[in-house]
Amino acid sequence: MPDLSVRDTGLHLLRRPGLVLSGVVIALVLLAAVAPALFTGQDPIAGVPAERLRGPSPSHLFGTDETGRDVFARVVHGAALSLRATVIAVLVALVSGAALGLLAGFRGGWLDSVVMRVIDVVQAVPAILLSLALVTALGFGTTNVAIAVGVSNLAAFARLMRAEVLRVRSGAFVEAARASGVRWSGVLGRHVLPNALGPVLVLATLTFGTAVLEVSALSFLGFGATPPTPEWGALVAGGRGFLATAWWMTTFPGLTVAAVVLATNRLGRALDGERSGR
């Protein structure tokens, strides 16, 4: 007989088809980023002029662009670059924001006041405008775009980490550790951080979708990788001049970005629901 836990898990997933579909989308995108050759053998850079602006067909699933390059191949190969920038952005926001919130919440006093006033200033500026200002100062390029997006999103991580640290710090086990003579760094690393990190990791999952969108937006504006490097935002921008005659050049890369954002948000909400016990 099948294991009851396995069967219960299967029935639970069948009742949540959106979650299953989101997992499949994320798995396919990650696989495309790691092994694009599994999906296409077309060259994403070299085009065939005789096949320029061909519509979607069995030989070119997403059609071809103005130089005869296969759009599907460019979307697949662009997954690695776009996801790498997104991961860097989320890590920058997670590490820097969590560190600031951890120190502010645990130490308190003047450090808490200074850090939170800085966070207020950062949060007062719309994320996309702050990203634009930072990437202009840092210079063009995928890595600089990722850093700019990460810095513009650190405020939420800092606030959440501070709130969790304040909650955990008042626990009896923390007071006992401090009363027994454990140094504050030991209390911070062994007791406070592990118990405060869960909600912050869930926020990182939710932020991943936002970061995909912001990285693609900056790439769309021309701040990302230089052509002809395939990057999702740049692919959408490259098809703007052909919307009337070659709609597929913009539509399919745009749908890919939308699918990844929706899928990551769905998974993030599911993780948040499981953590909250809903």
Per-residue tens of pLDDT for the chain, all 278 residues: 445 454 555 555 556 777 888 889 999 999 999 999 999 989 899 888 999 999 999 999 999 999 999 999 999 999 999 999 999 999 999 999 999 998 888 777 888 889 999 999 888 888 888 999 899 888 888 899 999 999 999 999 999 999 988 888 776 666 676 666 666 666 676 667 777 888 898 889 889 989 999 999 999 988 988 888 889 999 999 888 898 899 999 999 999 999 999 999 888 888 776 655 54
> Residue 175's pLDDT is what?
62
Note the pTM of the prediction, 2 decimals: 0.86
| pLDDT for 2 | 45
Give, to the nearest 10 degrees, the angle between helix 17-34 and helix 4-14.
100
pLDDT confidence of residue 150: 93
What domains are defined for the chain? 4-276 (1.10.3720.10)
pLDDT of residue 226: 82
**pLDDT confidence of residue 146:** 93
* Long-range pairs, 129-136, Cβ under 8 A, ≥24: 131/214, 131/218, 132/218, 132/221, 132/223, 135/218, 135/223
Q: What confidence score (pLDDT) does residue 4 get? A: 43
Burial label for 243, CB within 10 Å (0-12, 13-18, 19+), is exposed
Cβ atoms of residues 224 and 231 within 8 Å: yes
The residues, any chain, with a CB within 8 Å of residue 183's CB and separated by 6 or more, are none
Helix axes 193-220, 71-107, angle to 10 degrees: 140
Assigned token pair, 57: 């067909």
